Amino acid sequence: MRFPTHDLRVTHSEAVDVLVIGAGLAGLSAARDLARAGFAVRLLDKSRGVGGRTATRRIEGATFDHGAPFFTVRGERLKQLVTNLEPRDVIGVWTHGFHTWKNDVLTPPELGHARRVGKDGMNALGKALRDGVDFGDAPLDVKTNAIVSAAWNTTLGWSVVLESRRDFQSPAPFSSPRLPRKPWR
């Protein structure tokens, strides 16, 4: 077991019904469902924004997506979300297929599943889930730049401490963090 090497003295403590660690699409979707069910939910994410693998960066006026280049709609829940977001001009269809190059011949795409993108970057889907624009919900409570230093189970639930020395108490945490960038050793 690894123990934190820095000071864990807490300067601020907060209790919530459910603490969601990771504000990617899975964490945002779970938090949205829990909030609709009446729970007080707080999301924590180590990044500067929401969306996880649907990340968008802006550098000197240019927009770059790094992560998921597009998404397809196959499940009913995503289909319902897309139906609500397309008229709001948040997402749109990019293409229905791709050209292929084989034996020095360029072949046009066959009509396939629509590949959709965020119109202002791929993180538009995460921002829409956070802000509640899909069904007119209240915005979710998200804390970004929140790096978890420690988490442990207590008799009352879970305690999660951030590097900033903030502590969150929750009887029911939900975690959807990214896979580690480096293999565990």
- Looking at the DSSP bridge assignments, the partners of residue 158 are 153, 170
The CATH number given to whatever domain includes residue 46 is: 3.50.50.60
Nearest to 98 by CA among 77, 112, 83, 85: 112
The pLDDT score that the predictor gives to residue 9 is 58
Domain extent at residue 135:
12-175
What is residue 67's three-state secondary structure? strand
Domain presence at residue 68: yes
Would residue 4 count as lying in a domain?
Answer: no
Residue 2 lies in a domain: no
> Which pLDDT score, from 0 to 100, does residue 145 have?
93
3-state secondary structure 71-118: ECCCCHHHHHHHHHHHHHCCEEEEECCCCEEECCEEECCCCCCCEEEE
Write down the pLDDT at residue 151: 84
Number of domains in the chain: 1
Regions in the chain scoring below 70 on pLDDT: 1-12, 134, 172-185
Q: Is 45 a member of any domain?
A: yes
pLDDT at 174: 61
Backbone angles phi, psi at 48, to 5 degrees: -80, -20
Q: Has residue 129 been placed in a domain? A: yes
Residue 108: per-residue pLDDT: 87
Are 141 and 15 contacting, i.e. CB atoms less than 8 angstroms apart? no
155 within a domain of the structure (yes/no): yes
Q: Is residue 164 included in any domain, yes or no?
A: yes
Measure the CA–CA gap between 63 and 74, rounded to whole angstroms: 27
Output the pLDDT for position 77.
86
Judge whether 169 lies within some domain: yes
Stated pTM of the model: 0.80
